[in-house]
Structure 1
Amino acid sequence: MLRFSANLSFLFLDLPFLERFAAAAACGFKGVEFHFPYAFPADEVADAARRAGVEVVLFNAPAGDWAGGERGIAALPDRVAEFRAGFDQAAAYARALHCPRINCLAGLRPAGVAQALLEDTLVANLAYAADQMAAQHGQALVEPLNSRDTPGFFLDRSAPALALIARAQRPNLALQYDIYHAQVMEGDLARSLQTHLAHIGHLQIADNPGRHEPGTGEINYPFLFRHLEHIGYTGWIGCEYVPSRGNGAETLGWMG
């Protein structure tokens, strides 16, 4: 049976962050995820999850100046110390939240920096992140983002992400496969999911166009959900979509 987690950076946004955990639980979610918890003490976030009875399944490592437009720093050669200090902070939150996965965002491609140096930096940082998570029996993930919504993002397709994962040679380093981003950049979703299943640590969903809930666009989610069960995917599926109406509670009919 597929397991869905509510992304609290997209759903229930009419509520303060720490109240969204209970809102997710009230809608039947057993897992939650979000972009960043760092504005709140780890014990307060852990308490919100505990009181709601939900598992925290994923969040992102610090990603630079998000409000200022940055979208990660893991591939930036001049930000290695910052990335690693941020990942240490993320790992501490993961311990407090009993969260087994942290996602690393590569960032926007800087002008004038060689492709090889960016790749080498990302591989080294991913290896560092994976080693930190191995110490607490967790995973580090890396996620391609589509370059239509995020122009200039360094890692925008599955194949180069998987190649860098292979270079890092860490068994607990995996792909965060967002079906929405993959549809925009690649398509061929069913075959891609089956081919890369062993290297996928987490899935996220939204429909295209619009990035709304399943059933609002072109992706045949009923087929993909059956396909994921058929090929044996057992991980979480994050609902990282912009609700087409309301705060998200009104958009869950697709879950059946």
Structure 2
Amino acid sequence: MQRRSFIKKGTAASIMGLGMSVQALSLIKKPKSLNPYSFKLNYAPHLGMFKNHAGDDPINQLNFMADQGFRAFEDNNMKNRSIKTQEEIAKTIHDRGMKMGVFVAHTIYWKEPTLTTGKIDIREAFLKEIEESVEVAKRINAKWMTVVPGFVDLSLNMDFQTQNVIETLKQASAILEPHELTMVLEPLNFHNHPGLFLSRSPQAFQICKAVNSPSCKILFDIYHQQIQEGNLIPNIDSCWDEIAYFQIGDNPGRKEPTTGEINYNNIFKFIHSRGYKGLLGMEHGNSINGIKGELNVIEAYKISDNF
């Protein structure tokens, strides 16, 4: 008997001995060879964006993101997840060479004044939540956390409100600076969030300059600012020194790039030309449901990143 024939028969016999037919063996899924796309910028999907591919398990979702070439992710709800889940996520993103994006640092009140009021009890409650967020950030190796100052106080002049916000953010910065963490202030548009104090990028720029801390910067949400003020590239350029983070969404609809009026290819090209090394959170929905819609999101970013 030739040696090759003997080996082939021996292998088949071993398989049958394990109770497996050759046909059954052929049905075992082989690991796919990964060929992740090399994005020029650090786009960060959010949990749930690819659940039709990866299921509900956040670890599987993170692995799917990494397999597609995404080097970061964000999760607004991270602070509310269990410590066990946070630790599992931290290990996964470390193992996959990913970065953690923003999470929401505090309770956001959408219909009532908070930091604008200057009330001591409200300020102390906010600062306590910032202290709690430091522990979350350290656990998941995050560098940024989102802050929204709250609703306009109709009983106070806007200048007084601005000063109240600045003073509170100075105290929050004192908590964050020793840990080299940054809260990012997010201006929100008047259409989706009418009545909020912080709505414009120049306003956020002015506040950050007044706070004068590396721990207080701008989250420039391109979707919100397209609705609020337009003039996107010039405003990004003017605010550049105070921008620490971007978020993405096309308008109308707040879906992936290429679905609306924003020329994301030009915007990404400009951001890249400025040497930006930070993250761009994909804080939007999918324009198409299901697996097809998730593939469409990935393709939209490849198109918009092609400059």
TM-score with structure 2 setting the length: 0.75
Taking structure 1 as reference, are residues 180 and 72 closer, same or farther at Cα in structure 2, changes over 3 Å only? Answer: farther
Q: Counterpart in 2 of 1:106?
A: 149
Identical aligned pairs, as a percentage?
A: 23
- Is 1:61 aligned with 2:105? yes
Q: Counterpart in 1 of 2:164?
A: 121
Taking structure 1 as reference, are residues 138 and 38 closer, same or farther at Cα in structure 2, changes over 3 Å only? Answer: closer
Structure 1 residue 246: Cα displacement: 2.6
Q: Counterpart in 2 of 1:220?
A: 263
- Is 1:34 aligned with 2:79? no
Q: 1:44 aligns with which of 85, 102, 126?
A: 85
Q: Give the root-mean-square deviation of aligned CA atoms.
A: 2.3
Could you tell me which runs of 5 or more consecutive residues in structure 2 were left unpaired when the two chains were aligned.
1-39, 303-307
Taking structure 1 as reference, are residues 221 and 131 closer, same or farther at Cα in structure 2, changes over 3 Å only? Answer: same
Which one has a bigger Cα radius of gyration?
2
- In structure 2, how many angstroms separate the alpha carbons of the residues matched to 1:50 and 1:76? 40
- In structure 1, how many angstroms separate the alpha carbons of the residues matched to 2:73 and 2:58? 12
After superposition, residues 131-210 of structure 1 pair within 5 angstroms as: 131-210=174-253
- In structure 1, how many angstroms separate the alpha carbons of the residues matched to 2:115 and 2:64? 32
Contact 1:64 1:71 in 2 (8 A): no
- Identify, as 1 or 2, the structure richer in helix: 2
- Is 1:3 aligned with 2:42? yes
Structure 1 residue 73: Cα displacement: 4.0
Contact 1:63 1:70 in 2 (8 A): no
Question: Does the residue aligned with 1:102 lie in a helix, a strand or coil?
Answer: strand
Q: Which structure is richer in relative contact order (CA contacts within 8 A, separation 6 or more)?
A: 1
Question: Does the residue aligned with 1:244 lie in a helix, a strand or coil?
Answer: coil
Q: Counterpart in 1 of 2:300?
A: 254
Taking structure 1 as reference, are residues 17 and 171 closer, same or farther at Cα in structure 2, changes over 3 Å only? Answer: same
Amino acid in the other structure paired with 2:101: V
Count residues in correspondence.
252
Amino acid in the other structure paired with 1:176: L
Contact 1:127 1:168 in 2 (8 A): yes
Over residues 28-52 of structure 1, what are the superposed CA-to-partner deviations in whole Å (9 max), with x where a residue is unaligned? 3221112132322334213124225
| Farther-moved stretch of structure 1 (142-151 vs 18-27) | 18-27
- In structure 1, how many angstroms separate the alpha carbons of the residues matched to 2:146 and 2:108? 14
Q: 2:58 aligns with which of 18, 23, 27?
A: 18
Structure 1 residue 129: Cα displacement: 2.4
Structure 1 residue 209: Cα displacement: 0.7
Taking structure 1 as reference, are residues 43 and 70 closer, same or farther at Cα in structure 2, changes over 3 Å only? Answer: farther
- In structure 2, how many angstroms separate the alpha carbons of the residues matched to 1:194 and 1:109? 27
Structure 1 residue 195: Cα displacement: 2.1
Structure 1 residue 116: Cα displacement: 3.1
- In structure 2, how many angstroms separate the alpha carbons of the residues matched to 1:17 and 1:181? 30
Contact 1:107 1:154 in 2 (8 A): yes
TM-score with structure 1 setting the length: 0.89
Taking structure 1 as reference, are residues 130 and 165 closer, same or farther at Cα in structure 2, changes over 3 Å only? Answer: same
- In structure 2, how many angstroms separate the alpha carbons of the residues matched to 1:181 and 1:142? 13
Structure 1 residue 131: Cα displacement: 2.1
- Identify, as 1 or 2, the structure richer in strand: 1
Taking structure 1 as reference, are residues 17 and 111 closer, same or farther at Cα in structure 2, changes over 3 Å only? Answer: farther
Contact 2:79 2:105 in 1 (8 A): no
